[in-house]
C-alpha cells in the first residue's frame, strides 16, 4: 500500500525541513534583563509560528501589552507573576497559560532563580521585535524607545498606571 499526496500536501512537505536545537544552541539575545533564545524561528515554519525560551530574572519582564497574534506560555522552572486579561496570577513550573490575540497581558519573574518559560506565538511575530530591542535598547536611558519599537511590530504597550484591561 502506498500513500498518495495531493499537490498541496507535497508542496508543504517539501518546503519543511526537520530540525534539532540542542541545549545552548540557537540565536540568543539579552533583552531588557531577560535572556531570549530562539528555538524555532518564523523562517523555519513559513511564519505560521515560532518558539522561544526566555530566562526571566526576578522583577524582569514586559509591562501590560497586547498584539494581534496568539501566545502560549509554559513555565519550565521557577515562578512568574502574570497579568492576563486583568487577572493576576502567580504561576510555577509545570503551569501553562494561553493569551489569545488581543488579550492584554504582562509578566515578570518572581523567583530568586530566573524563571525559564517557553513562549509560542502564532502566527510568528515576536522575534523581530526582540531583535530590534536587543539592538536599540542598550541602557536604562534607552527604555523610552521600547513603545515605538513595539508599535513598529504591532505590539501595543499600555501607558504606565493604566488599569489592566
Residues 124 and 128: their CA atoms lie apart, in Å, by: 9
pLDDT tens, position by position, 79-122: 999 999 989 999 999 999 999 999 999 999 999 999 999 999 99
pLDDT tens, position by position, 133-161: 999 998 889 989 999 999 999 999 998 77
Strands (E), 7-137: 28-31, 34-40, 50-56, 65-66, 70-77, 79-84, 87-92, 96-99, 105-109, 115-122
Residues 104 and 98: their CA atoms lie apart, in Å, by: 12
pLDDT bucket at 19, cuts 50 / 70 / 90: confident
pTM: 0.84
Query: Quick one: pLDDT at residue 16?
Result: 62
Residues 150 and 33: their CA atoms lie apart, in Å, by: 17
pLDDT bucket at 163, cuts 50 / 70 / 90: low
Three cell numbers, residue 94: 509545570
Residues 152 and 146: their CA atoms lie apart, in Å, by: 10
Residues comprising the chain, all counted: 165
| Architecture per CATH, 33-157 | Sandwich (2.60)
Amino acid at each position: 500500500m502506498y500513500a498518495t499526496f495531493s499537490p498541496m500536501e507535497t508542496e508543504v512537505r517539501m518546503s519543511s525541513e526537520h530540525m534539532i536545537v540542542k541545549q545552548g544552541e540557537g540565536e540568543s539575545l539579552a533583552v531588557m534583563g531577560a535572556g531570549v533564545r530562539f528555538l524555532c524561528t518564523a523562517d523555519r515554519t513559513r511564519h505560521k509560528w515560532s518558539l522561544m525560551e526566555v530566562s526571566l530574572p526576578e522583577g524582569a519582564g514586559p509591562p501590560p501589552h497586547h498584539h494581534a497574534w496568539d501566545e502560549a506560555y509554559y513555565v519550565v522552572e521557577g515562578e512568574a507573576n502574570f497579568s492576563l486579561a486583568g487577572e493576576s496570577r502567580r504561576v510555577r513550573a509545570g503551569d501553562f497559560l494561553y493569551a489569545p490575540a488581543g488579550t492584554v497581558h504582562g509578566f515578570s519573574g518572581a523567583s530568586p532563580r530566573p524563571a525559564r518559560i517557553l513562549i509560542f506565538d502564532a502566527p510568528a511575530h515576536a522575534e523581530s521585535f526582540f531583535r530590534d530591542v536587543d539592538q536599540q535598547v542598550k541602557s536604562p536611558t534607552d527604555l523610552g524607545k521600547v513603545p515605538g519599537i513595539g508599535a513598529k511590530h504591532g505590539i501595543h504597550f499600555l501607558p504606565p498606571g493604566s488599569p489592566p484591561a
